[in-house]
A = this chain, B = another copy of it.
Amino acid sequence: MHRGTILDLPKRHTGDVQSPCAACTVRDLSICSVLDPAHVKCLTDIVSDVSISPGQSVFYEGDPAEHLFVLRDGCARVCKVLADGRRMITGFFFPSDIIGLAEDVTYAYSCEAVTRLSLCQFPRKELQDLFVEHPVLEQRILRVATNELAAAQDQMVLLGRKTASEKLASFLLLLSSRAGRRRARQDELFLPMSRNDIGDHLGLTTESVSRCFTRLRKQGIISLDAAHTIRILDRDRLLVLSGSGDYEIEPSVAAL
């Protein structure tokens, strides 16, 4: 993983023909994939590498929305906070995800590092200019946005109409499926975020999350190898428990 040399340099790359993207592990998953190798250079021309320590913010709610990010490594959380401090995590980002979609002049949420992050930072303005030459880029962004919209609607169903156990089951299955998309193991999940983070994402308290984990473990549906590593032992039952079971089982998924 000799990518390390680039990661910690927060300076701009220009005219680097043997681009750092060539070695990028998420290149074929994220926006860059829509450009053929010959054109990726126009992206590398405007990209900066950014690295963020756990707990630090990539940006805050209300900051001018100047950049778009591609998460290359790590896990980030999207937070919105009410006046009295109640917090909601509207989502988590994993490698290949695009961070910072916003139409407004400011970000509508904060983005914080759960683990150390490595990000590609694109100035929104210059990216916009590239859209003219490469409309395929904008199309890709639109696809990402509509996919996020669909995910947001699923999350609303979860928040508004599912029980605590169903929420946790759904969350675990979603993470598992996203891990699969990144070609990681789907049965052994690494959960970098705290129980508190999970609670703020599912509309529950830390304690409720913990109790639901315990219940799933006692039912033999998952095992808790460590606080942040769980193993899915009975995917079918987890699916039924998630409340979306029964008719949302695609054969391809159910077969696993």
Copies in the complex: 2
Interface hit among A17-25, A28-36, A86-94, A174-182 = A86-94
Which one of A5-13, A153-161, A184-192 is at the B interface? A153-161
- Interface presence of A80 (CB below 8 A): yes
- CB contact under 8 A between A108 and B150, given known A88-B161, A160-B202, A161-B87: yes
Asked if residues A153 and B108 are in contact (CB atoms below 8 Å), the reply is: yes
Contact with B along A193-220 (1 / 0, CB 8 A): 0000000111100000000000000000
Q: Which residues of A contact B (CB under 8 A)?
A: 78, 80, 82-84, 86-88, 90, 101-104, 108-109, 131-132, 135, 138-139, 141-143, 145-150, 152-157, 159-162, 200-203, 243-248
Which B residues are CB-close (under 8 A) to A159? 156, 159-160, 203
A149/B101 in contact, CB under 8 A? yes
Residues of the B chain whose Cβ atoms lie less than 8 Å from the Cβ of A246: 83
